[in-house]
Each structure stands twice: as structure tokens, then as C-alpha cells.
Amino acid sequence: MKAVSGKRMCRLLEERGWRLDRIRGSHHIYVHPDGGRRVTVPVHGNTELKPGTQRSIMRDAGLSDADL
């Protein structure tokens, strides 16, 4: 799995139709247009996401390694 930053993960989500709902501190909360799913992405500049956090976001958003 390729490591990505929080900023890059946000761009990937937006490209796949996710919408930024709100920002609370450094956490960007995205919702899917179907209304049932929500994903929180920690954005700390260009710092890469920790592997477990990235894997969890990808699983919740339905992204695969090929999407990176």
C-alpha cells in the first residue's frame, strides 16, 4: 500500500464523489451522496497518514490500492 497524506486522501475522496461536510480542527469529515456513509480524514499538512488509519479510511470509503 502506497502511503499518502491527508490532503491527497481528501482529493481522492472528492474525485470519487464524496462531499466535504465540515471541518473540526484538523479533521475533515466527508459524506457520501447516498447519505449513509461518513469518513473522517486527519489533515496535518503533507504528513503521511499512518498505515492503520489509511487502511481504515480506504475500507470505509470503498477505495482499493489501485485507486492510489
Domain boundaries, the chain: 1-44
Structure confidence at residue 37 (pLDDT):
93
Q: Which whole-number Å values give the CA distances from 38 to 2, 13, 34, 50, in the listed order? A: 23, 11, 10, 19
Taking only the tens place, the pLDDT of each residue in 44-57 is 989 999 999 999 99
Helices 51-61 and 6-15: crossing angle in degrees, nearest 10, is 10
Residue 59 contacts by C-beta under 8 Å, 6 or more apart in sequence?
Answer: none
pLDDT tens digit sequence for 5-57: 999 999 999 999 999 999 999 999 999 998 889 999 999 989 999 999 999 99
Q: Which architecture does CATH list for 1-44? A: 2-Layer Sandwich (3.30)
